[in-house]
């Protein structure tokens, strides 16, 4: 529960400001993160919030990957994850059917990205 609260706080802190994120290795431990279509996000969310959530969810993993997140609509996201060796993981998709995206759905999507990256290491 504490981890969820921490991730939520990080995601909320990242939601203040711009509409897109191009985080190209701000630290050695941060994966590259690009968000396109952030203008489709519901009010109160932005690309920075998504990249912050991805960074928080993947902080214990190798940063040898990049993620390109596409905001499909106010209720749907898709992500393309590229590994350092040139491999691309299957596209990650997330949609909510009963409402628009919120910080909790962004957090769940970031965790799904982290799980995909972690799972690629065991293959």
Q: What is the pLDDT of residues 92-111, one digit of tens each?
A: 999 999 999 999 999 999 99
Query: Shortest CA distance to 13 belongs to which of 39, 45, 43?
Result: 45
Q: Is the pLDDT of residue 50 over 70?
A: yes
SS (H, E, C) 49-104: HHHHHHHHHCCCCCCCEEEEEEEEECCEEEEEEEECCCCECCCEEEECCCCCCCHH
Question: From CA 55, how far away is CA 32, in angstroms rounded?
Answer: 9
91, 79 Cβ separation under 8 angstroms: yes
pTM (global) more than 0.85: no
Q: What is the pLDDT of residues 51-83, one digit of tens each?
A: 999 999 999 887 789 999 999 999 999 999 999
Q: Give the per-residue pLDDT at 120.
A: 84
What's the mean pLDDT in 113-123? 85
Q: Give the per-residue pLDDT at 13.
A: 39
118, 61 Cβ separation under 8 angstroms: yes
7, 41 Cβ separation under 8 angstroms: no
Q: Give the per-residue pLDDT at 61.
A: 87
* 25 Rama class: left (phi>0) / alpha (psi -120 to 50) / beta: left
Question: From CA 2, how far away is CA 118, in angstroms rounded?
Answer: 21
């Amino acid at each position: 529960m504490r981890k969820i609260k921490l991730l939520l706080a990080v995601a909320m802190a990242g939601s203040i400001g711009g509409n897109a994120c191009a985080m190209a290795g701000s630290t050695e431990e941060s994966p590259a993160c690009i968000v396109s279509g952030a203008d489709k996000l519901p009010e109160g969310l932005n690309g920075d919030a998504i990249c912050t959530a991805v960074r928080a969810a993947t902080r214990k993993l190798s940063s040898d990957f990049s993620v390109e997140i596409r905001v499909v609509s106010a209720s749907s996201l898709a992500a393309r994850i590229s590994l350092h060796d040139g491999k691309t993981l299957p596209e990650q998709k997330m949609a909510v059917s009963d409402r628009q995206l919120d910080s909790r759905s962004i957090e769940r999507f970031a965790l799904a990205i982290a799980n995909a990256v972690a799972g690629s290491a065991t293959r």
